[in-house]
Structure 1
Amino acid sequence: MFIVTGGAGFIGSNLVKGLNERGQDDILIVDNLGSSMKFKNLNSLRYRDFLHKDDFLTRLESGEYGHERIEGIFHNGACSATTESDGNYMMRNNYEYSKTLLHFAIDRKIPFIYASSASVYGNGENGFCETEECEKALNVYAFSKLQFDRYVRRVLPQATSQIVGLRYFNVFGPNEVHKGRMASTLFHFYNQISESGIARLFGEYGGYGPGEQRRDFIYVKDVVNVNLFFLENLSTSGIFNCGTGHARSFNDVVHAVAKACDKGTIEYIPFPDDLKGKYQSYTQADAGNLLRAGYRDGFTSLETAAAEYIDCLKQQGGLL
């Protein structure tokens, strides 16, 4: 059996799809559906069971899974709202929950692959390498992720089974519709162009020209490939960036979306005052450690991924 926490969410549901495509359907999905529409992400997937995250933790701590054969845990469940201000909630949900699951995996020698975040690099002024010198959390979400990474670093030397943390950069692709405002810029640009023919970008800011702020955009299918690469290489542990290693401008993104839509122009809007000093104008993963670990599958180009994703938005409403 595989366990996928956050399995009804964006990346988690794509991971389940990836396992299905490899012939695996003995999967326990753990999540909190709440009032969101992310249940739709599960409609096309094959899995054994679904559990609310609190029920799963209760059963885990009671020893229910003590003798079950578990081939791997993909831990993607977390509160990812960067606007969440309740630090105690964030640490219980993202940090303490993760520690409990980590120690269960260590005790049972189960491969444990979890979602970290590029947000741990803050404004990126010190670079985007997996070292403490580059790390600076700017909000409590990033803090919760960074603290768990640091905890993992402390236990890794004694661990006798695989532990992998993946710092996701700007992920986009199918099954993010439920995220609403937190969905990717590609999703929002597609909707803007579909509705009005115009995509709105920030104007000049931070030394970057209009629309020239840059991010490391990575297609969710490539994120799945990276996860499954580590599952196939159980001797490799550590914390790795999960990005393409190439920054692309928001202008590039709109041009890719417009090409796939056969229409679309750009309107530049003034940079909002409330984002000044809180905005990442540039992100680019240092992919060196990932490549040294042996990952050789490459990454889908922005243009190819955008065309495929927009076809999914047009034909399937953005769902797998």
Structure 2
Amino acid sequence: MSDLFPPFEPDAPEPRRRRFQAVPLRLLLPNLVTLLALCAGLTGIRMAIEGRMELALGAIVIAAVLDGMDGRLARLLQGTSRFGAELDSLSDFVCFGVAPGLVLYMWGLESLGSIGWIAALAFAICAALRLARFNVMLEDPNKPPFAGDFFTGVPAPAGAICVLLPVYLELVGLPRLVASPAVAAAYCFGIALLMVSKLPAWSGKRFGSRIPRDKVMPLFVCVVLFVAVLVTWPWATLAVLCVAYLAALPFSALRYARLMREYVARHPAAAIGPDAHLGSAHDDDRHSHLN
């Protein structure tokens, strides 16, 4: 019975309150960049609704640039986290799945009725499936060393930039006969399939990781010139980049097949299947937020 009425002790020390642990700034910066990319993607949707297509395209391009920065910033600052990885996945779906599909639909696919909406819907769904597939992929410890140089399928940011090619062509000045809504719908279906395919796409993640000292100044000049050209002729530059990227995909697949044949010739035990060791470079970039 004595436990029901504890003694009154006015001078007894109060229980120590639990304090939240301070979060290092290096963990917050990559997530802030991801949030900025998400804001850019959502702003692109708003600009498309208001009919300001140029600003909508610019917002998606900015989102793609920021998406390429957050993972590298997390690795540089050692600020990876599980929260950052999940936030990056959600941001990518909105910026590179929902936003490009809606922009393309409001640009001209709506004139096709249900067919146009299905095309935009298919692109967003394929972007979600691609992100979900790589979020659950297990890292193969026996994959060849060159596998990290290739994406499995077209990455979501590249797919988002490429699927808007019909809009670039119209802004350049080409008539709708060249980039008609019907052609744009078929093209949208094609890009969606490329994202969920197992096509080896060269990632370029390891290209230029080490720059010789005598190449630093020419690299700076090339980057400045590229930015100047992009700002001066943005839609023509993006159209050329999209065509060049899509044209390079077959050569990327052929190079991967050649490297795999050479690897299997040196390691016969690795001959499990044609896609057994296909790399997941985009997945590596996404999980750069993880501890």
TM-score normalised per structure 2: 0.29
Q: Write 1 or 2 for the structure with the bigger share of helix.
A: 2
Q: Write 1 or 2 for the structure with the bigger share of strand.
A: 1
- The structure having more radius of gyration, on CA atoms, is 2
TM-score normalised per structure 1: 0.27
